[in-house]
């Protein structure tokens, strides 16, 4: 369901016809249930790559919803939804942090999660969500946009590399 009081931030610029028109807008409270459902689908897709790591995330629907509620109130976090025919078909979240370390002082934006329903993939929806995230990061005066992607998620890695993201750090983990 679409809340008509929420401003549309971006519209697909050249839809092939009205049936392909995708709108990007800020996530609203009325979107929380559907975005939580999409987030759970994302976790299931992640679990296909690493079932052991993502097993604990599978039963955290209420926790995910609470996190989305926090995003709505936090001025350093933002979430967007992609809408087609009044239905939310994707979402994206991001946050900004002001890091000061012994190396430098930077403002970093981080892409939290991005998900597009499988039927709408390869149609530019993810690119619209990513573009909106990048614009928000610039407004927040971020020096760069970073993200975390599982090393087994080759499709996502190729997608991000194709949009100019480069490997900067390697995160390693050890099960305890």
Say if residue 152's pLDDT is above 80. Answer: yes
* Tens digits of residue pLDDT in 73-108: 999 999 999 999 999 999 999 999 887 666 667 788
Mean pLDDT calculated for residue range 150-156: 87
For the chain, list the domains and their CATH numbers: 8-148 (3.40.630.30)
Question: 113 near 92, Cβ under 8 Å?
Answer: yes
Arithmetic mean of pLDDT over the chain? 84
Question: Are 80 and 92 a contacting pair, CB within 8 Å?
Answer: yes
Q: What is the pTM of this model?
A: 0.81
User: For residue 87, is it left (φ>0), alpha (ψ between -120 and 50) or beta?
Assistant: beta
What pLDDT digit, counting tens, does each position of 113-131 carry?
A: 999 999 999 999 999 999 9
Pairing mode, strands 77-84 and 87-100: antiparallel
Looking at per-residue pLDDT, the higher value among 167 and 53 belongs to 167
d(CA 23, CA 3) in angstroms, rounded, equals 12
Strand order in the sheet with 8-11: 8-11, 23-26, 77-84, 87-100, 105-116, 144-147
């Amino acid at each position: 369901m679409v809340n008509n009081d929420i401003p549309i931030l971006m519209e697909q610029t050249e839809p092939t016809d009205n049936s392909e028109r995708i709108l990007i807008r800020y996530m609203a409270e009325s979107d929380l249930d559907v975005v939580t459902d999409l987030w759970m689908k994302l976790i299931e897709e992640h679990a296909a790559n690493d079932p052991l790591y993502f097993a604990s995330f599978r039963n955290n629907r209420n926790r995910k919803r609470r996190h989305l509620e926090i995003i709505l109130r936090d001025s350093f976090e933002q979430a967007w939804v992609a809408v087609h025919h009044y239905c939310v078909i994707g979402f994206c979240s991001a946050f900004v942090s002001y890091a000061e370390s012994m190396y430098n002082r930077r403002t970093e934006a981080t892409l939290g999660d991005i998900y597009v329903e499988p039927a709408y993939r390869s149609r530019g929806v993810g690119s619209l969500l990513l573009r909106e995230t990048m614009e928000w990061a610039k407004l927040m005066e971020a020096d760069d946009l970073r993200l975390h992607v599982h090393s087994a998620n080759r499709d996502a890695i190729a997608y991000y590399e194709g949009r100019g993201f480069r490997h900067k750090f390697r995160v390693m983990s050890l099960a305890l």
